[in-house]
Amino acid sequence: MADGSQIPEIRVGAPVLEDFGHIARRMRPDEIAQYLALTGLPEYAPDVAARALAATPGSQFVMVDRAGLPVLIGGFAPVRRGVFEGWLAGTQEGWSQYWRAMTKVCRGLMEDLLTSGGAHRIETVALADRVAAHAWYERGLRMRRDGVMPGYFADGQDGVVFSLTRKRT
């Protein structure tokens, strides 16, 4: 599995293909629902999801536990110059055990992207009914809720967009 720098409780590194498969086979139900809403696929197939996640453009990272198993995979996909869409997929066990470390690492990666990675905006869209995810984006990642986008997802469900922007001086 991936190897990288030591962070309290978890390590962060560049993902290998096996990491995508591991996460896709153990993805949280609400993240599977969002993946299906986004893609419009009729059913969830971990191998298809793993290939789609691995093919996502932009930078990618994996967080692994002390045993070397992936607990979260994510990245920042370029939308246009200076704007990136953040995405994540994780295991239930990983979120239950490492949510504080995951939050700290994600916040740090976002701040790095905003200060020295060429971004002035990072955004993400969540299904409107994923209220626990909304709370994490707002409180954990300090993102701003920008609003509801009716019919945003491929299956017609509403999305809620959140963003973090570089401070202007």
164 lies in a domain? no
109 lies in a domain? yes
Place of tokens 């963003």: 163
144 lies in a domain? no
27 lies in a domain? yes
Q: Are 127 and 153 in contact, with CB atoms under 8 Å apart?
A: yes
Total domains in the chain come to 1
130 lies in a domain? no
Averaged over 58-80, what is the pLDDT?
A: 96
Cα distance between residue 165 and residue 119, in whole Å: 8
25 lies in a domain? yes
Q: With 70 as the cut, is the pLDDT of residue 7 above it? A: no
Domain of residue 97: give its range: 4-125
State pLDDT tens for residues 97-143: 999 999 999 999 999 999 999 999 999 999 999 999 999 999 999 99
What does the mean pLDDT of the chain come to?
94
153 lies in a domain? no
> Smallest Cα–Cα separation from 127: which of 79, 159, 167, 156?
159
Read off the CATH number of the domain in which 27 is found.
3.40.630.30
3-state secondary structure (DSSP) of residue 61: strand
161 lies in a domain? no
Residue 4, pLDDT score: 45
Pairing mode, if any, of strands 121-127 and 4-7? unpaired
Helices and strands (H and E) in the chain: how many: 5, 8
